[in-house]
Amino acid sequence: MTRPLRTRSAAETEGAVLDLVRSGGVISRVELAEQSGLTGASISRVVKRLLDRGLLVETGQGDRTGGKRRTLLELSTGGRYAVGVSVDHARLTYVLVNLRGEVVANVEAPGIGQDPPVTVVRRAAQGVRELLDGQELCVREVAGVGVAVPGRLDPGPPGSDGSSRLATEWERLGLEAVLGEALGLPVRVEHDHVSAALGEFWVGKVPASASFACVYLSEGFGLGLRLRGDVHRGASRTAGDVGHMVLDAGGAPCWCGSQGCLEALAGPAAVVARVMASTAGGELGLTGSRAAQHREFATVCRAAADHDGVAAGRDATREACREAVEASARYVGTALLSIVNVLDLDRIVLAGPGFAEAGPLYADSVRAEVERRSSRRETGPVTVELSGLGLYSAAVGAATTAFA
Ligand SMILES: [Zn+2]
């Protein structure tokens, strides 16, 4: 661990101990003390609290070591659940997960659209109630609700778009308190890219000691960082704003005021615009409108990956889409190469709805870029993979925050 557990709050310590159990599968109190740096007495107290809350169970005894049997601990498999909600322009995704992050139930609903946050919160509360009503759970079995919200979003023309100033409005609204009161459950709110990283860590068998980045693509790019066991949020909790990493100092202007940002060069809007500059834009009926962006980006990605069986006579359309997606993927690879080299990461996971259609194209490109030029080549390969959680990565990750 990079930071001794004794400098953390009780909740952080419990979360870190749960992480050690999760990554260890089964583990003894003695091993937990060794790995956490806490005293045996402290570990016993933390473990007792986690046992009392039903988060851990004792599971038989390990081998004799030094003449003393060790009771082993593992995550509870039932009786304890959490709700995750991913809030996005395209869709609201609800999941009910067990302690291992396995999705027990899920529901999808229309996204934010033009709704102001206060309306979205009302819909989210209703959605959570409907998800839980379909299950035979008692309230005590539900640890709480985690909500993944977008980070920095394109503000658009002032006053023209309900999504403008979204992150600020969530804060002003006091989302945790408002939703918590509506549901009668503890609610935690996290950025979607951080949630996705937490989900990968919890479910994706990532070792507790790994330093990894989770690239989350939805409206734009976000980067969740987990460095040797700790989530990195930065000084003002805005770490991971990789969409505005400048890749071309004199490049295309970005809405953030800078030029040549990853988002301006390679984000969904840029990919759609690139295809619209060719005859393929008309073939696919692209409009380039903000409201249709997620749908049109998915259309381009599907054509690029040839999922929708573009007819032989439309090879040019497929080729234009493929070129646009591959250009985007090269920029993503370049950005991630710098991040891998600066932070000495050993793993990159691509997650989020933006990778649903052409994820393998992006993963191949990032892998090629990182393998070819990473400064880690001498010390070991950097693993690049697509999330196995698909559209649920942020929702599952948000849910796991409710267990901590
Ligand atoms: Zn920018």
Assess contact for 88 and 192: CB atoms under 8 A: yes
What are the start and end residues of each CATH 1.10.10.10 domain in the chain? 5-75
Look at phi and psi of residue 353 and say left if phi exceeds 0, alpha if psi is from -120 to 50, else beta: alpha
pLDDT value for 175: 83
Q: How far is the CA of 333 from the centre of ligand 1 (A)?
A: 17
Q: Span 206-235, mean pLDDT?
A: 86
Using alpha carbons only, what angle is made at residue 281 by residues 276 and 282, rounded to the nearest 5 degrees? 135
Is residue 352 classed as helix, strand or coil in its secondary structure?
A: coil
CA 268 / ligand 1 centre spacing (Å): 13
For the chain, residues classed under CATH 3.30.420.40 are: 81-204+394-401, 212-386
What integer pLDDT is reported at residue 164 of this predicted model?
40
Find the angle CA(244)-CA(246)-CA(252) to the nearest 5 degrees: 90
Report how far ligand 1's centroid is from the alpha carbon of 247 (Å): 10
223 C-alpha to center of ligand 1: Å?
A: 14
Strands (E), 228-315: 230-232
The pLDDT of residue 50:
92
265: CA distance to ligand 1 center in Å?
9
User: What's the rounded Cα separation, in Å, for the pair 18 and 255?
Assistant: 41
Lowest mean pLDDT among 33-37, 76-80, 183-187, 287-291: 76-80
CB 221 within 8 A of CB 240: no
**Centre of ligand 1 from the C-alpha of residue 257, in Å:** 6
Kindly give the distance from the C-alpha atom of residue 172 to the centroid of ligand 1, in angstroms, as a whole number.
Answer: 24
Digit-coded pLDDT (tens) for 375-386: 666 677 888 999
Strands 212-217 and 347-351: parallel
Residue 196 has pLDDT above 70, yes or no: yes
The alpha carbon of 351 and the centre of ligand 1 are apart by a number of angstroms equal to 21
- 241 C-alpha to center of ligand 1: Å? 9
CATH H-level, domain 81-204+394-401: superfamily: ATPase, nucleotide binding domain (3.30.420.40)
Distance 263 CA to ligand 1 centre (A): 6
pLDDT value of position 67: 56
Which CATH architecture does the domain made up of 5-75 adopt? Answer: Orthogonal Bundle (1.10)
Ramachandran bin of 120, using left for φ above 0, alpha for ψ from -120 to 50, beta for the remaining angles = alpha
Q: Is the pLDDT of residue 369 over 80?
A: yes
Distance 237 CA to ligand 1 centre (A): 18
Ligand 1 centroid to 141 CA: how many Å? 43
Residue 394 has what pLDDT?
95
Q: How far is the CA of 136 from the centre of ligand 1 (A)?
A: 46
pLDDT tens for 221-267 read: 999 998 887 888 888 777 888 999 999 999 999 988 999 999 999 99
Q: According to CATH, what is the number of the domain 212-386?
A: 3.30.420.40
| Distance from residue 252's CA to the centre of ligand 1 (Å) | 10
Q: How far is the CA of 129 from the centre of ligand 1 (A)?
A: 38
How far is ligand 1, taken at its centre, from the CA of residue 240, in Å? 13
Mean pLDDT, rounded, for 271-292: 93
Distance 19 CA to ligand 1 centre (A): 35
Distance (Å, rounded) from C-alpha 35 to C-alpha 69?
A: 19
DSSP state of 152: S
CA distance 158 to 146: 30
C-alpha 246/C-alpha 226 separation (Å) is 22
Given a cut of 80, whether residue 141 has pLDDT beyond it is: yes
Q: Identify the band that residue 374 occupies on the pLDDT scale cut at 50, 70 and 90.
A: confident
The size of the chain, in residues, is 404
Crossing angle for the helix pair 268-276 and 293-305, to the nearest 10 degrees = 70
Q: Which two tokens stand for residue 197?
A: 């990283």
If you measure from the C-alpha of residue 260 to the centroid of ligand 1, how many angstroms do you get, rounded to a whole number? 7
Cα 33 to ligand 1 centroid, rounded to whole Å:
45
Residue 159 has pLDDT above 50, yes or no: no
| C-alpha of residue 349 to centroid of ligand 1, in Å | 22
Q: How many A from CA of 261 to the centre of ligand 1?
A: 5
Give me ligand 1 centre to Cα 221, in Å: 11
Q: How far is the CA of 217 from the centre of ligand 1 (A)?
A: 15
How far does the centroid of ligand 1 lie from the alpha carbon of residue 398, in Å? Answer: 26
Give residue-wise pLDDT tens across range 309-359: 555 556 889 999 999 999 999 999 999 999 998 998 989 999 999 999 999
Instruction: Please tell me the predicted confidence (pLDDT) of residue 153.
Output: 53
- pLDDT tens readout for residues 2-56: 455 556 678 778 888 887 887 777 899 999 998 888 999 999 999 999 999 888 9
Cα 333 to Cα 115, 346, 349, 364, distances in angstroms: 34, 15, 12, 9
What spacing in Å lies between the alpha carbon of 395 and ligand 1's midpoint? 26
Predicted pLDDT at 200: 87
